[in-house]
């Protein structure tokens, strides 16, 4: 197994991409701290991990609160002794506003959830990784950092800042044998699209995702399992010589779909 005896914290792992990562990592022998603000759904994910023979704990945490982040890391270390892998997956886009209508409050909340939360977790996890001179940190960015699909300036700016944050940390921690990388998801079929599809019936939702897929070179939207596979690569020894990299998991974006022959 690729992650045998490893300990991972995965934020936002009650649903979607984070949940898929948790289940994939459990299959590979990793013990997990399933960290999410929704403890009910986190417990459900933990139950699925346990059903697969995996070990873990579910922790309630508002990732924008430094005191709660510190406590979550401390509880993980109390339970498992250390942290080998940190995946900063928690984040959300929220409501989009044109820049002239953007309030300072919405801007700050968006950066707090998507960027400052990653700073908090790295702040409290890195000392354990430095002490044992090894570790893997994976930060979630977005294709919106490079090719915004829509005007969502607070979210896209925060996701772009994550790439700079990742590069700086990768350089600083390389002497300690700590790999720091970013994952750049494209259109992944998760609750991210709930605002667009929530009022649709099942057939309308399938049509929506089919249209979305046609905008992608691989002609389909991604699945949470696609992200889990990429995360496994970076978190395992398969990615031992990769650091300071933003890995696109986008179905080929920002390339344009090829023109199909008639």
CATH number of the domain bearing residue 63: 3.40.50.720
Is residue 18 domain-resident?
A: yes
Cα 260 to Cα 262: distance, rounded to the nearest angstrom: 6
- Counting the structural domains of the chain, the total is 2
Convert the pLDDT of each residue in 11-62 to its tens digit. 999 999 999 999 999 999 999 999 999 999 999 999 999 998 899 999 999 9
Let me know whether 155 and 218 are in one domain. Answer: no
Convert the pLDDT of each residue in 151-204 to its tens digit. 999 999 999 999 999 999 999 999 999 999 999 999 998 877 776 777 788 888
Task: Report, as residue numbers or ranges, the catalytic residues.
Answer: 155
Give the predicted TM-score (pTM) of the model.
0.95
Q: What ranges in the chain are assigned the alpha helix state H?
A: 16-27, 39-51, 66-80, 104-111, 117-132, 153-173, 194-197, 202-213, 224-235
Cα 13 to Cα 88: distance, rounded to the nearest angstrom: 10
Burial-class residue 65 by CB neighbours within 10 Å (0-12, 13-18, 19+). Answer: middle
Let me know whether 177 and 200 are in one domain. Answer: no
Cα 229 to Cα 213: distance, rounded to the nearest angstrom: 20
- Provide the residue range defining the domain that includes 236: 7-188+223-249
Contact yes or no for 118/142 (Cβ under 8 A): no
Let me know whether 60 and 135 are in one domain. Answer: yes
């Amino acid at each position: 197994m690729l992650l045998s005896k490893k300990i991972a914290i995965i934020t936002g792992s009650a649903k979607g991409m984070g949940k898929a990562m948790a289940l994939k990592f459990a299959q590979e022998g990793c013990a997990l701290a399933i960290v999410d603000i929704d403890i009910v759904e986190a417990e459900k994910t933990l139950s699925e991990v346990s059903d697969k023979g995996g070990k873990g704990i579910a922790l309630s945490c508002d990732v924008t609160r430094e005191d709660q982040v510190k406590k979550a890391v401390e509880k993980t270390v109390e339970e498992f002794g250390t942290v080998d892998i940190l995946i900063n997956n928690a984040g959300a886009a929220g409501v989009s506003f044109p820049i002239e209508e953007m309030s300072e409050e919405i801007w700050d909340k968006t950066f707090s959830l998507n960027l400052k939360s990653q700073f908090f977790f790295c702040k409290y996890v890195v000392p354990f990784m430095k002490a044992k001179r090894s570790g893997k940190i994976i930060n979630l960015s977005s294709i919106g950092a490079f090719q915004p699909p829509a005007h969502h300036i607070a979210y896209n700016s925060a996701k772009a800042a994550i790439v700079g944050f990742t590069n700086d940390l990768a350089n600083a921690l390389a002497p300690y044998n700590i790999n720091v990388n970013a994952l750049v998801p494209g259109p992944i079929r998760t609750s991210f699209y709930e605002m667009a599809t929530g009022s649709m019936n099942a057939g309308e939702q399938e049509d929506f995702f089919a249209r979305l897929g046609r905008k992608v070179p691989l002609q389909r939207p991604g699945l949470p399992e696609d992200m889990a596979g990429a995360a496994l690569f970076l978190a395992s020894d398969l990615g031992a010589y990769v650091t300071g990299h933003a890995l696109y998991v986008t179905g080929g974006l920002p390339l344009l779909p090829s023109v199909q022959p008639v």
